[in-house]
Homo-oligomer: A and B are copies of this chain.
C-alpha cells in the first residue's frame, strides 16, 4: 500500500542515492556507492552513477576516492570520464593520477578537450611523460599542443584556446549565422566572433549579442568593434588578467607579432589566473611557496624552509644587536622584559603598510606617480598610531616597574620604530618592484629585519643613554 505512494511523491529519491547535499557538495552516500562500484570493478554501475556529473563534481569525486582507486575509477568510466575534470583538481592529485594511467588512455581523453584544457593538464608533467602522451595523439593535435607548450609558462599562448570562429568583414550577419549553424567543428563555447582579413590579421570583433540583435542583411564590417582588444601571444597571464578586469572582457583575441589571430582567451581561464595570482601573493607574503593543500610533506617542508632560514638569519642579526647591550640588560633586567614589545609592534605596523603596498603594486594602484602622496600619508599614520601606542605602553611600563624614565624610554623607542616601520613597509616593496623583484616574495624578510634591528637598538640604546648604564 505504501510503496506506490512513496514512488508517486518522489520516484527518484527511492530509486537513486542523492548526489548533492544542500550545500551543493557530493553526499557521502554517493561517494560510498561509487567507491563500492570501483572496488567491485563494476564498470556499468560506476558509469550509471557518475556518468552525468559536471566536471567540477567529477573532480571532487576523484579526490574523495582513495589514491589507489582513482586510476581504476577513470578506466572503469571509459568514455564517460570527461578529462576536463582534471583541470578542476589540485595539481598534486592530477599529476599522481596521470602517472598511474596508461598514456594511450590519457591521449584519447585529451583528444576530446579544447586545446587550452589539454595544455593545462600536460604542462605540469615532466617531459618524458608529456612525450609519451603526445606520441599517442593524432599528428595535427600533437603539433597544436606542442606549439602551445613551447610558449613560456604563464603566457597567453599557454592559456589560450586555438579553436575559434573567424569570419571575413564582407560577410553579412545572415551568412555568419548560417555558417555557425552548419559548421559542426565549433568550439564548445564561445562569446565572440572575430573578424580577419585574407592574411588572417585581426581587424575586428563581434559579441554574440550584437549578432543576434542585428538584421540578417547587415555587413559584419558595419557592426563589428573596429578596435578590438587583443593580447600578444607572449604576454604574461597577469597582464592579461588586468586587461580583462579593466575592460570587463569575457573573451579576447590572442595575436602573434604580425597581428595574426592565433587563439582566444576566455574569462574562465582568467578567473583561475586571478585566483592563482592572489593566492600566490598572499602565500608569498607569509613566506610560503607555491604549495597546495594536497602536496606531500617533503614538498611543503621545502617550500617553507627557505623563508625560515632567512628569518633565522635576521634573528641572529637581532641577537647580535641585543648582545651589544648585555651589560645594559644585566644592570636593568626590565629591559629584557619589555624589548620584545617594541620589536613586535614595529613588525606589525610594518607588515600592515607592506601588505597594503604589495597589494596596491600588484593591482597597479600604487606606482611612481602617487608614491610621494602615499608616503606622506604613511608617515602621518605611523606618527598618529605610534603616538597613541607610545602613550599607552609608556604609562603601563612606568607604572609596572615604578620607573617613569623607563616609560619615557619605551615610548620614544616605539615612536621611532613605528616611523621606520611605515617607511620600510612602503619603500621596501617599491624598491624591489623597481628592480623587477616580486615584492610579495621578498618584502617580509626585509621589513621584519628593519623593525627588529631598529626596535632593539632604539630601545636598548636610549635606555643605556638615559639611565647611563654600562654596555
Q: Are A315 and B344 in contact (CB under 8 A)?
A: yes
Q: Is A96 an interface residue (CB 8 A)?
A: no
Nearest-Cβ distance from residue A242 to partner chain B, whole angstroms: 9
| The residue from B24, B301, B330, B370 contacting A330, defined by CB atoms under 8 A apart | B330
Interface residue tally for chain A (C-beta within 8 Å): 107
Q: Contact check, B377 vs A286: say whether CB atoms are below 8 A apart.
A: no
* Contact, CB under 8 Å: A359 / B215: no
Does A247 reach chain B (CB closer than 8 Å)?
yes
Q: How far is the CB of A236 from chain B (nearest CB, A)?
A: 13
| A304/B191 in contact, CB under 8 A | no
Residues in B neighbouring A334, C-beta threshold 8 A: 323, 326
Binds B, one of A5-13, A42-50, A118-126, A380-388: A380-388
Let me know if B316 and A341 touch, CB within 8 A.
Answer: yes
Which residues of B lie under 8 Å from residue A360 when comparing CB positions?
A: 293
Residue from B211, B213, B244, B292 within 8 A of A186 (CB atoms): B213
Residues of chain B lying within 8 A (CB to CB) of residue A275: 245, 274, 278, 363
Q: Within the assembled complex, what's the spacing in Å between the Cα atoms of A351 and B286?
A: 6
> Would A214 and B181 count as touching, CB distance under 8 A?
yes
Residue from the set A191, A305, A329, A333 with the largest chain B CB neighbour count within 10 Å: A333
A20-54 Cβ-contact flags toward B at 8 Å (1 or 0): 00001000000000000000000000000000001
* Stretch binding the partner chain, chosen from A74-82, A151-159, A256-264, A389-397: A389-397
Does A16 belong to the interface (CB within 8 Å)?
no
Contact A56:B246 (CB < 8 A) given known A208-B208, A341-B312 = yes
In Å, the complex CA distance between A271 and B244 comes to 9
Q: Distance in Å from the Cβ of A101 to the closest Cβ of chain B?
A: 23
Cα distance A355–B284 in the bound complex, in angstroms: 10
Which B residues are in CB contact (< 8 Å) with A54? Answer: 247
A1 within 8 A of B: no
Is the Cβ of A293 less than 8 Å from the Cβ of B345?
Answer: no
Query: For the complex, is A308 an interface residue (Cβ under 8 Å from B)?
Result: yes
Q: How far is B343's CA from A344's CA once the two chains are assembled, in angstroms? A: 10
In the bound complex, CA of A316 to CA of B342 (Å): 11
A452 to B374, CA, bound (A): 32
Task: List CB contacts (< 8 Å) of A356-414 with chain B.
Answer: 356, 359-360, 363, 365-366, 369-370, 374, 377, 380-381, 384-385, 388-389, 392-393, 396
User: Please, how many angstroms separate the alpha-carbon atoms of A459 and B340 in the complex?
Assistant: 14
Cβ–Cβ contact B304 & A381, under 8 A: yes
Q: With A275-B278, A286-B355 in contact, do A189 and B209 touch (Cβ < 8 Å)?
A: yes
Does A163 interact with chain B (Cβ within 8 Å)? no
| Copies held by the complex | 2
A312 partner, pick from B209, B339, B345, beta carbons under 8 A: B345
Contact assessment for A365 and B311 in the assembled complex, using a CB-CB cutoff below 8 Å: no
Within 8 A of B (CB), among A289-309: 291-293, 296-298, 300-301, 304-305, 307-309
Interface residues of A (CB under 8 A from B): 24, 54, 56, 64, 88, 90, 177, 180-181, 186, 189-191, 207-209, 211-215, 243-248, 250, 267-268, 270-272, 274-275, 278-279, 281-283, 285-288, 291-293, 296-298, 300-301, 304-305, 307-309, 311-312, 315-316, 318-319, 322-323, 326, 329-330, 333-334, 336-341, 343-345, 348-349, 351-352, 354-356, 359-360, 363, 365-366, 369-370, 374, 377, 380-381, 384-385, 388-389, 392-393, 396, 448, 452, 456
| Given A300-B381, A304-B349, 10 new contacts (CB under 8 A) | A181-B213, A275-B363, A278-B278, A278-B282, A286-B352, A287-B351, A291-B356, A297-B377, A304-B385, A329-B336
| Subset of 13 A-B contacts with CB under 8 Å | A180-B209, A250-B268, A278-B279, A281-B282, A282-B282, A285-B286, A293-B356, A319-B337, A319-B340, A322-B337, A326-B334, A336-B336, A344-B448
